Structures are given as structure tokens and as C-alpha cells.
Amino acid sequence: MLVKDVMNSPVLTVEVGTSLEEAYWLMLKHNIRHIPVTAQGRLVGMITDRDIRLATSPLSAKGARPTHTPVGEAMSQPVVTGHPLDPVEEAARVMRERKIGALPVLEEERIVGIVTGIDLLDALLRLTGVGKPSGRLEVTLPDRPGELARLCAELASRNINIHSLLSYPLNPTQVNSVVRVSTPEVRKLAQELRQQGFSVQWPPELPSKGL
């Protein structure tokens, strides 16, 4: 999945001379928290609701600025940007490392979109396939060639379709694979996989009933 698949477009922007008050009301009207700032069509900064609150607060280091102050005096710059063909995980990594809530998307120096944290959460939901009727398996596999193929082959042999599959390192020798499958009857499936030697973490194995 690429940034172009999840970004919001077209993008609301303001010019550097727009007042803080006007930018604030635009955010309220459109239910957004970040607006790219442009000068003659070129991206020069970002203004957020937090920037406006800090700029107009009497507790600010510079004192409260008048609400007619241009956004150019309170915006964040330089701006971290992305490209439409960036993978969504790269956008997420950049936003996490820079601790920013939105990423303007540029193509040939034109603003063509913007990605927010909510957009990345939506992308995660799509990647995990939770929008389709499905069941969830989580299986710990040895981190070596062929193990994931073995799991997929085992599911295919039972005529189980895979809606999505995500893996992440558990430790230096193991990975966890989270699989969305085409059946909600995952407890029975999990038990069958355990009988074939797979280490299934979810759904958990039910405790045996005592005599």
C-alpha cells in the first residue's frame, strides 16, 4: 500500500499572510488539526491547532500574540514531506521519528495530498483485512526459509483463503505471523494446526476440563 492510496486530496492550504484566527476557524469548520502554509503556491510551513494555541497563550515565552498575527510567524518550518509513491510504512516511520501528526505529500513540488495519523490507522485496518468477515490466527514460526510457506500450504490444504498476512520479529530466532483467514471457525483450525506442530498463540488453547 502506497501513500497515494491513503492520502487526503485535494488539500486545504492557507497563505503565509492568513491570520491565526482565520486559520483556527478553518480548522474548526473542516474538522482538521493541520494546514499546510504556502507562499505563491509553494509549501513553506505547517500550522497546527497546537501552534495557534501556543502563539496566542499568555503563557507563551513571547507572550500572547494578537489573533490577527499572520500564520507565517507561528508556523513550523522546514516541513517534512512525503511522496505519493512512498510505502505507507515509510510515512509512518517518518511521522513517528519526527513526532509529527501530518505529512504533506509533494509531487514535483506541488502539494497533492496530506497524510495524518488517522489515515495511517485506516491503512493498518485495511492491511490487516478486518473489514472482511474473517478469523484471526497468530502463529509463532522459526525465523528461517520455508516456515511461512509451510503455514500457507497447510491452510491451502484445508481450502482456507488468506485475506491478509503480517509478520514481525518476536526474538532473534522467531517471528509472529498474524493471519486473517476466510473462516470464523478459528478455534478448530488452531487446534488442527497445533496437531501439525505449529505454535499457535491466538486463539489461545482452551484448558482441558478436569475429571
**How would residue 183 be classed by pLDDT, with cut points 50, 70 and 90?**
very high
Confidence at residue 209, expressed as pLDDT on a 0 to 100 scale: 61
- pLDDT, tens digit, 9 for 90 and up, residues 5-36: 999 999 999 999 999 999 999 999 999 999 99
Long-range contacts for 31-39 (Cβ within 8 Å, ≥24 apart)?
A: 33/101, 33/102, 33/116, 34/101, 34/102, 34/114, 34/116, 35/71, 36/11, 36/79, 36/104, 36/111, 36/114, 37/13, 37/71, 37/72, 37/75, 38/13, 38/14, 38/111, 39/15, 39/72
> What are the structural domains of the chain?
3-124 (3.10.580.10), 132-202 (3.30.70.260)
pLDDT tens digit sequence for 98-143: 999 999 999 998 999 999 999 999 999 988 888 788 999 999 999 9
Q: At what angle do helices 20-30 and 49-56 cross, to 10 degrees?
A: 140
Q: Is the pTM of this model over 0.75?
A: yes
Name the grid cell of 141.
514460526
Instruction: Give pLDDT, residue 73.
Output: 94
Closest alpha carbon to 26 in 11, 8, 45, 40:
11
Q: What tens digit of pLDDT does each residue of 70-89 get?
A: 999 999 999 999 999 999 99
